Structure 1
Amino acid sequence: MIGRERELAALRAVLLDPPVIVLVEGEAGIGKSRLVQELLATHTPARQRVLLATCPAVRQPFTLGPVVDAIRPATEDVAGLGLSGLAGALRPLFPEWASALPPAPDPAEDAAAARHRLFRAIEEILERLEIGLLAVEDVHWADEATLEFLLFLASRQRQRVSLLVSYRPEEIAPDSLLLRLTSRQPVGAARLRLTLEPLDVHGTAEMVSSMLGGERVSDEFATFLHDRTDGLPLAIEESVRLMWNRADLTRRGDSWVRHRPSEIDVPPTVRDAVLERSARLGPAAQAALRAAAVLTAPAPEGAVVEVMAPEGDPASRLAGLAEAVGSGLLREDASGLVSFRHMLACRAVYEAIPAPQRRAMHLRVAHVLEGATPSPVAQLARHFREAGDMTAWCRYAEQSADLALASGDDATAVVLLHDLLTNADLPPADVVRLTSKVPFALLSGHERYRELMDALRLVLDTGEPAPNEAAEIRFHVARLLQQMEAFEQSRIEAECALPDLGHDPAKAARAMMFLGLPYGTTTPAAEHLRWLRRVAQVPASMAPRDRMKIRVGRASGLLLLGEEEGWAEAALIADDASTTEERQDITIGRLNVGHMALIWGRYPEARRLLTRAVGLADRYEYLKLRRVGQATLAQLDWLTGAWDGLADRAGSLAGDEELLQPVSRLAPAMVTGLLYAARGDRDRADACLRLVLEQADRHGGAEHSVEPAGALARLRLGAGRIDDVLELTDKPIRFLEHKGTWIWATELAPVRAEALFMAGRSDEAGDLVDAFAAGVRDRRAPGPHAAVSTCRAILAQYQSDPLGAAELFARAADAWQDLPRPYDALLSRERQADCLLRADRSDAALSILAETFQGLSTLGARRDAERVMHTLRAHGAEVKRPSWQGGRRSYGNQLSPRERDVVRLLVGGRTNREIAGVLVLSPKTVARHVGAAMRKLEVSSRTALAVRVVEAGAVIDDPAVEGR
């Protein structure tokens, strides 16, 4: 512990007041593990146990592997822990405990829900074992599930377990979850960050002295060694051991010095020193080093001896292992497990093993591990692969992927399956089976999609697959292309696959669904409709869940296309089911149809369906589906005038990056921008809606951009920016014209028609209104019909028919109110009154304006109420100012003081709940401020917001970040 006394004292002090998060960082060989080992050897708080987990250098794709391996030997009586039913989720990770664990729970909503349930079960085990400190070494090598679990523990409101993690900062990937752990202020816990630095000359001298019985070393020798090792403890140790083995050290007077200084050559790297030291050992000891290097992970003595070269008797091999341990290159822990003292030494020996010998040793390791219980499938996959046994590699890698999927660790499953499909020469039947298991949504980046798709197409090009196998492979290529948003190419593959998918009606129906859903393609609606109607002809012999999925997809597709028959299909979706899978499909169906009811303007039906869906999601803990339902309900609340508290709710939903995907956050973010506009904050509204439109263009198909484009265009129209309006609405309206899906044009058609009139393009405006009216004529779609009425009133207004226009605006107002959609009804009433004023019907106009002013004021539409108030006063009417007149100032695109306070704490790593506690706000209000700051600075995530404000110097550091 030379030179680490201060760090050790700090660790001991902070752990006296748990819970705490301790971060120990430093380069390889700096002494992180030695510091942790010394702490754990002396840290014995009353009634608290310590659990030590180590992340292996060779990343093994095994869900929560380091934590599972640490927990497994911590108890011999699982049944005696009194675990709840939640522990049934542990069965995939601890198969040997199956008889002592509760039954496995029903499948979770998705991988995220499964992981969350698994994390809670492991947390319960830690509590039952009275673990007070979980120490995890080398976290830079941790799998994603382990990192997520550490984040889960650190974010718990009632954190009971302290965390100590060590890592190398230089080996953290830019997108690693470890960055969130190291930058986030823990909830309800203190945080200590220790950065270990190299030793100085004095520390180098002390360390060498400690290795030489405490005797003094010369200043010249200490300086020489420090210059060649840069003060890195591991390099110092290996250099001294090597010089001792060479007899390069000698006593002179009362101190140790170099022997023949001019001839001493200390290797420049730890690797070279290790290899020279190992070469000085006997053959059996060198074989033990090679065996330990190939094993990599700590292993029992017997396993190391078995993996050593087969020649030689067991006694001589055991003696060689003892010599290797005695050299200091290997170590044996209290459990009898043997491993290298440092991973740099392990890698040096491993890389020096000739490739043929290394393959043979990996094969011996694999055969040794095949007899272990439980079967270490991840290690077996690695060793068989390195041994060149592709059949065994594929078998165990698939088992590892299955285990990851059962544990909700889709990220690990993706890595394993992607590796198999792109690097193993598999027969077509195996390709079909493995591809069916890939959670496509988790493939990151187009490159991985492309690699997988190339592998699948390579199988097709060989001509080996049977027709049904080729059809299934094409079906999966179509799925990949859907994920890549290459919708037209996806249609081609799906159409090619269909003729030979008759053996699998479910896949055939899904392929038809690809062809029937109108997302993002230029295919006319009639073609989509043809495929959706073919789906209905698929035999009903498929499994109940497949039938439900097809019914939900078909209803959604038909309603997206504006087809009335979609409502009849939607009516067949059950209210509930007995299995988790069917309940999920029913919940999704209710959400989809509820959203379609909103688009059609059937608001009471939309609220009933969405409320039902959120209720199901609450009951069955479908966290993401519940948030999706809440996001759509927020949009419905905007439309129906339920604005009380809506800003906080929408802001919270728009900022929910954990449970909502970017497309799902568009609706609440748009609501936030619309509320800004209604309340008179044009700059903030414009920035918000512009960001929403950018996100829609980036993350969704063309259909997702229609409503944001209409909202932003409406704001720009009010500012007289006609050219902007025409540019914003041109691409979306052409998309709708080509598709024939006029049911989506409610927010877009009126604003574009008016801009065309204002630009002198009245013929185009008239054609647009006629096409819109024809497109929704036979649909029971109150929303689009109200928009058509508004378009007709605009048409009359610009044709200089004020009385006719006034009557049409009155009809439009009634249509909006019937939905109910009070804000648009009031705006139509205002326009009716304006037309009456132009026709010299001032009495009737002022009466309508007075009612409109009252309605807008009650609703909270400040900007519009003020405009009506000025009109009334201009015509001599007495109007009392609303209570909010002269209220809070607008800061435009600048952060308000409160937003600055929130962002300052966010940059310091605080969560919304912590910020709320510091500033005495509700978490929802904090979320609203964070959302506002993101919109003003035009960023789409909290991380980007933090980077932007730090770069701009917009906030100062939070001085309390490192405190409790």
Structure 2
Amino acid sequence: MNSRTDVDRRQLPTISTPRFVGRGREMRALSVALGQPPAVVLLEGEAGIGKTRLLREYLVSPSGQGHRALVGSCPPLREPYTLGAVVDAVREGVGNVAGLRLSGLAGALRPLFPEWAADLPPAPEPIEDPTAARHRLFRAFVELLGRLDVAVLAIEDVHWADDATLEFLLFLVSRRPQPASIVVTYRPEELPSDSLLLRLSSRLPADARLSRMELEPLSIDDTAAFVSSMLADEHVSAEFAAFLHQRTDGVPMAMEESIRLMRERADLIRLAGGWARRRLSHIEVPPTIRDAVLERVARLRPDTVAILRAAAVLAAPADYVTLNAVAGLPPERAGVAAAEALGCGLLREDRRGKVSYRHSLACRAVYEAVAVPDRHLMHLRAGRALEGSVLPPVAQLAHHFRQAGETEAWCRYAEQAADLAAQSGDAATAALLLHRLVTTVDLPVESLVRLVMKIQFQPLPDADPYSDIVGVLRAALRKEALTSQQEAAVRFQLGRVLMVAGDWEEARLEVEQATVNLAPDSEQAARARIFLALSPGTARLTEEQLRQLREVPAATMSITPYERLRLLQERTFALLMLGEETAWAEVRQLPEESSDPRQRGLIAASHANIAEMAIRWGRYDEARLRLAKARDLADRYQLEMLFGAVAVIEAHLDWFTGAWAGLADRVAALMAAHDGVWLKDQREAALVAGLLCALTGEREQAERHLLLAGRDDQQRIESTAALARLRLRDGCVEEALRMTEEPGEVTLRNGIWPRSAEIAPVRVEALVAAGRIDQAEDLVVAFQRALGDAPAPAPQASLALCRAILTEARGQAAQAAALFAEAVAAWQALPRPYDALLTRERHARCLLTVGQPDVALPMLAETARALTELGAGIDADRIVQVLREYGWRGGMTRGRGRPSYGNQLSPREREVARLLVGGWTNRQIADELMVSTQTVSSQIKSAMRKLQVASRTGLALKILELGLVEQETLPPAQDEKIQPPSGGTK
């Protein structure tokens, strides 16, 4: 038979939904995995392979029916939808939340479930910190899942998931106990390389139960059974099964669509009680699922096709009223068409009576086949139909009006979607929506300025999210007929974005131009004054500018208390940055607490910022106090985004004060963290990591970390100083000069001395090494003039060191020795032990120059010992070499890798060995002896080398064999394990 017209339609077979075949092994594996809750199951496979079918067959099986499950699917919308799959899963599986006895925490769910307003607790106080807001929402979801007794949460098509959904899944699996078993399905070929889903498998807790399942195509035998189940279980020949398997690669959806298409073509007919098929060589199987779906759709009635197209445009479950409105059918025809669309096997109806495609591949195929003008019209109908919903879905509305070309409506709903995301703590989605809106639409100036002001750039995934916004703002400035106020507003935003991007000079120029036309008493004018005061490269402010800066809060009486507090804090921070001593009195006037949740976040952040400035001034007790207050507020009010900032600043302070035990591990964790650590905090952690690597001679890692830290303006000068110091040690004087020129000008020439403590000695040393003594002297004079008698111990110690370096360069070794001694005392008083020891080394070298080896050599030996104990082995080695050159024999301690007791263990190595034999860890030994774990590791390696053993166990046995440790000195054994004595750890 050559055409459908030759066939009696009664001879066409009835096609059934295929049975679930060929997945027995996978079904058993899924049952085993979810039968040992809580589990994490990653179910992967190509499109159409049967992931959804496997999951749903399990849920209706005897094993699956014993547990309450919620299933959601990630939509492929271009406009992200915060926690969309989780929200849909709860909506589809839960009628209402009445009677669940939810705590006040559940009020955080209101923005996402407004239909439950009558049954949810009141909305909690808003939180300024987006991470804290997001985690509060996550905790509310966990409580809801617990109250509903949900055992399994399944999220499908996770390759399309927004970051908030993935973060929620990570949050769930990190909880102890894990609230529910998690099942995710995804297509690995469509998973972004940086997807957070990868962390779901790579960073699970050690006790988590992870199962990874990959679905394979069906075999030829399974293909025969699959097709037979669609044809009333009648026999299917091996020849036909092989033919179909070859054409569809064994993908179930491709096979189902092919069989349905063959039926429509009359390639399968009933004759004389059996199946007659056209010759296989005459049957054409479409090469893709898309082609099969489209050929099937083309054979349906126009009204049915209209319903299928409407469902494809909607792309999400929709009720029949919305479906018919988008299809544009008259009511008398819509019902029949909808029934036929469901009957063709492409659509399904959920328990809420909403209709959607069974598979996203079919949905996409039908959508892409709709002519563009028709598509625009149907999106417009969809938008208008959904606008009338009791609960308008703003993300879907933004999507439909965007596709319809309705810019005004798109902008309105996209902004609403961004605001909803921000309320839910989803800063990344909010920023993405606003960024896309601003860079895509030619907005009026007022709208452009308002939306740019809302964007938080840090969460955006793009490595350079600023350039497009800068381009849009510059284009706005080129428009004609801008009023002076409009131009000022655009320039101010342009300056703000350039500042965030790190282009301070361009930012300063734009803000300076903006201030001419900004209203003097406006918030923007006040913020502009603060910005200009903090801008790198700014010359020392005049008294008039300082007066204006001090008057910032008074000049903005009309703004809200929250904004006034923020301006007050920013102004105080600016004055501290500029070295204004009076700012410390203002610090004492800042509020310590507030009943306003938004102000609490500001107050906590201000403590952290003040701690950072206190470190620059060298007021370390103040810094510790402020960090403790910031941490207390962050803990009490769950300001989770502040945890990372506090931890990083504390790590930086520990670097200065020599508290190096475990510091390398802490900063490595902060650099690798994704939750609660901003990029700027990671870069400060990179600075400390680079400084630590430089101590141990890991030059490549040190430079990589320091260069990364230098991308943040707040860490740029200190990281440059550290890199320049490495260059000087290599003898690369010209490069060190080049590197330190601009930071030196910014901090010393311009009098911004709080940023100068680290760069000044390196710059002076570079100038001295280059023979530019006069320039070095000019720099020291400028530093001294700017600093004066300011109560800033760290810059004052730095200035003392600079004077000593300059005096030594003039050949005045005796006077230089005295000045170095003053600098040592200044560093020790802070305390900054590493700087004190390096300065003491220079003091001792000056004493050698003036012929006092009896004083200098013991001083050098003690300095080398202290540096070794601190963990600065490279510096200790350098001093040991000098001692050897002078023939020192008086109890010389060794630098890293150079024993000073020949092949005998030193007293400290014996002490470490005693504890090692007792079963103590490096950390316990370090705590007991009050040294760093790095020092303990070095001493153990030295002992192993001296006793010629290759392992810690070998070392312990050798020590016992040689009788180097008395048996009675070992800690007592408990439960077959030797434990440290009580009080052994500090």
TM-score (norm 1): 0.84
Contact 1:512 1:535 in 2 (8 A): no
**Aligned runs of 1:838-877 on 2, under 5 Å?**
838-845=849-856, 848=859, 852=863, 856=867, 859=870, 861=872, 874=886
What amino acid does structure 1 have at the position aligned with 2:548?
A: R
% identity of equivalent residues: 48
What amino acid does structure 1 have at the position aligned with 2:839?
A: S
Which residue does 2:258 correspond to in 1?
239
Q: CA deviation at 1:11?
A: 1.0
Contact 1:588 1:613 in 2 (8 A): yes
Measure, in 2, the Cα distance between the counterparts of 1:527 and 1:201: 85
Q: Cα 1:395–1:10, aligned 2, differ >3 Å: closer, same or farther?
A: same
Identify the range of structure 1 (759-768 vs 234-243) with the bigger mean alpha-carbon deviation: 759-768
* Alignment match of 2:712 (pick from 688, 695, 700): 700
Provide, for residues 250-292 of structure 1, a one-character-per-residue CA deviation record: whole Å limited to 9, x for no partner.
4689974631445433333323322322232233322322232
Identify the range of structure 1 (92-101 vs 750-759) with the bigger mean alpha-carbon deviation: 750-759
Contact 2:532 2:538 in 1 (8 A): no
Which residue does 2:218 correspond to in 1?
199
Tell me, yes or no, if structure 1 residue 123 matches structure 2 residue 142. yes
Contact 2:733 2:770 in 1 (8 A): yes
Q: Cα 1:691–1:251, aligned 2, differ >3 Å: closer, same or farther?
A: same
Which residue does 2:846 correspond to in 1?
835
Point out where structure 1 has 5 or more consecutive residues left out of the alignment: 889-918, 933-964
Secondary structure class of the residue paired with 1:294: helix
Which residue does 1:750 correspond to in 2?
761
Secondary structure class of the residue paired with 2:451: helix
Measure, in 2, the Cα distance between the counterparts of 1:442 and 1:397: 18
Contact 1:802 1:835 in 2 (8 A): yes
Measure, in 1, the Cα distance between the counterparts of 2:853 and 2:350: 95
Tell me, yes or no, if structure 1 residue 37 matches structure 2 residue 56. yes
**Aligned runs of 1:218-229 on 2, under 5 Å?**
218-229=237-248
Identify the range of structure 1 (526-535 vs 31-40) with the bigger mean alpha-carbon deviation: 526-535
Which residue does 2:700 correspond to in 1?
687
**Aligned runs of 1:304-315 on 2, under 5 Å?**
304-311=323-330, 313-314=331-332
Q: Cα 1:97–1:737, aligned 2, differ >3 Å: closer, same or farther?
A: same
Tell me, yes or no, if structure 1 residue 533 matches structure 2 residue 552. no
Q: CA deviation at 1:155?
A: 2.5
Which residue does 2:833 correspond to in 1?
822
Measure, in 1, the Cα distance between the counterparts of 2:593 and 2:712: 30
* Alignment match of 1:608 (pick from 625, 639, 651): 625
**Aligned runs of 1:154-173 on 2, under 5 Å?**
154-173=173-192
* Alignment match of 2:198 (pick from 174, 179, 185): 179
Q: CA deviation at 1:726?
A: 4.3
Which residue does 2:84 correspond to in 1?
65
Q: Cα 1:310–1:460, aligned 2, differ >3 Å: closer, same or farther?
A: farther
Provide, for residues 658-687 of structure 1, a one-character-per-residue CA deviation record: whole Å limited to 9, x for no partner.
333343234444444545655xx3x22x33
Q: Cα 1:867–1:181, aligned 2, differ >3 Å: closer, same or farther?
A: closer
Which residue does 2:36 correspond to in 1?
17
Which residue does 1:513 correspond to in 2?
530
Q: CA deviation at 1:91?
A: 1.2
Measure, in 2, the Cα distance between the counterparts of 1:43 and 1:453: 59
Aligned length: 887
Which residue does 1:592 correspond to in 2?
609
Which residue does 2:437 correspond to in 1?
420
Secondary structure class of the residue paired with 1:610: helix
Tell me, yes or no, if structure 1 residue 451 matches structure 2 residue 468. yes
**Aligned runs of 1:467-506 on 2, under 5 Å?**
467-502=484-519, 505-506=522-523
What amino acid does structure 1 have at the position aligned with 2:819?
A: L
Q: Cα 1:387–1:642, aligned 2, differ >3 Å: closer, same or farther?
A: closer
* Alignment match of 1:324 (pick from 337, 341, 346): 341
What amino acid does structure 1 have at the position aligned with 2:702?
A: L
Q: Cα 1:59–1:165, aligned 2, differ >3 Å: closer, same or farther?
A: farther
Measure, in 2, the Cα distance between the counterparts of 1:365 and 1:663: 43
Measure, in 2, the Cα distance between the counterparts of 1:800 and 1:658: 54
Measure, in 1, the Cα distance between the counterparts of 2:201 and 2:42: 7
Measure, in 1, the Cα distance between the counterparts of 2:899 and 2:601: 47
Identify the range of structure 1 (86-95 vs 302-311) with the bigger mean alpha-carbon deviation: 302-311
Measure, in 1, the Cα distance between the counterparts of 2:376 and 2:690: 62
Contact 1:773 1:788 in 2 (8 A): yes
Measure, in 2, the Cα distance between the counterparts of 1:372 and 1:772: 68
Secondary structure class of the residue paired with 2:458: helix
Which residue does 1:548 correspond to in 2?
565
What amino acid does structure 1 have at the position aligned with 2:846?
A: C
Secondary structure class of the residue paired with 2:437: helix
Q: Cα 1:441–1:496, aligned 2, differ >3 Å: closer, same or farther?
A: farther
Tell me, yes or no, if structure 1 residue 524 matches structure 2 residue 539. yes
Contact 1:498 1:511 in 2 (8 A): yes
Q: Cα 1:309–1:96, aligned 2, differ >3 Å: closer, same or farther?
A: closer
Provide, for residues 17-41 of structure 1, a one-character-per-residue CA deviation record: whole Å limited to 9, x for no partner.
1121111222222222222221111
Measure, in 1, the Cα distance between the counterparts of 2:469 and 2:896: 59
Q: Cα 1:357–1:690, aligned 2, differ >3 Å: closer, same or farther?
A: closer
Q: CA deviation at 1:68?
A: 0.9
Q: Cα 1:841–1:377, aligned 2, differ >3 Å: closer, same or farther?
A: closer
Q: CA deviation at 1:645?
A: 4.7
Measure, in 2, the Cα distance between the counterparts of 1:232 and 1:551: 64
Tell me, yes or no, if structure 1 residue 784 matches structure 2 residue 795. yes
Which residue does 1:437 correspond to in 2?
454
Q: CA deviation at 1:404?
A: 1.1
Tell me, yes or no, if structure 1 residue 333 matches structure 2 residue 350. yes
Which residue does 1:950 correspond to in 2?
none
Which residue does 2:303 correspond to in 1?
284
What amino acid does structure 2 have at the position aligned with 1:533?
A: Q
Measure, in 2, the Cα distance between the counterparts of 1:464 and 1:92: 40
Measure, in 1, the Cα distance between the counterparts of 2:864 and 2:296: 89
Contact 1:404 1:410 in 2 (8 A): yes
Contact 1:289 1:324 in 2 (8 A): yes
Measure, in 2, the Cα distance between the counterparts of 1:630 and 1:128: 35
Provide, for residues 160-204 of structure 1, a one-character-per-residue CA deviation record: whole Å limited to 9, x for no partner.
311111111222223332333354445532222222223343333
Which residue does 1:915 correspond to in 2?
none
Which residue does 1:810 correspond to in 2?
821
**Aligned runs of 1:947-962 on 2, under 5 Å?**
none
* Alignment match of 1:774 (pick from 779, 785, 803): 785
Measure, in 2, the Cα distance between the counterparts of 1:20 and 1:659: 26
* Alignment match of 2:806 (pick from 792, 795, 816): 795
Which residue does 2:721 correspond to in 1?
710
**Aligned runs of 1:628-643 on 2, under 5 Å?**
628-643=645-660
Provide, for residues 403-432 of structure 1, a one-character-per-residue CA deviation record: whole Å limited to 9, x for no partner.
111111122222332343344454444334
Higher relative contact order (CA 8 A, sep 6+): 1
Contact 1:518 1:557 in 2 (8 A): no
Identify the range of structure 1 (144-153 vs 787-796) with the bigger mean alpha-carbon deviation: 787-796
What amino acid does structure 2 have at the position aligned with 1:146?
A: T
Secondary structure class of the residue paired with 2:673: coil
Q: CA deviation at 1:876?
A: 5.8
* Alignment match of 1:343 (pick from 351, 360, 368): 360
Point out where structure 2 has 5 or more consecutive residues left out of the alignment: 1-19, 901-920, 928-932, 938-986
Measure, in 2, the Cα distance between the counterparts of 1:38 and 1:437: 46
TM-score (norm 2): 0.82
Q: Cα 1:711–1:579, aligned 2, differ >3 Å: closer, same or farther?
A: same
Measure, in 1, the Cα distance between the counterparts of 2:266 and 2:825: 101
Secondary structure class of the residue paired with 2:294: helix
Measure, in 1, the Cα distance between the counterparts of 2:65 and 2:253: 34
Measure, in 2, the Cα distance between the counterparts of 1:531 and 1:441: 31
Secondary structure class of the residue paired with 1:105: coil
What amino acid does structure 1 have at the position aligned with 2:802?
A: C
Q: Cα 1:145–1:640, aligned 2, differ >3 Å: closer, same or farther?
A: closer
* Alignment match of 1:661 (pick from 667, 678, 688): 678
What amino acid does structure 2 have at the position aligned with 1:325?
A: L
Secondary structure class of the residue paired with 1:384: helix
Which residue does 1:398 correspond to in 2?
415
Provide, for residues 737-783 of structure 1, a one-character-per-residue CA deviation record: whole Å limited to 9, x for no partner.
55443442322332343344344443443333333333323533222
Measure, in 1, the Cα distance between the counterparts of 2:520 and 2:764: 51
Q: How much is the aligned-residue C-alpha RMSD, in angstroms?
A: 3.5
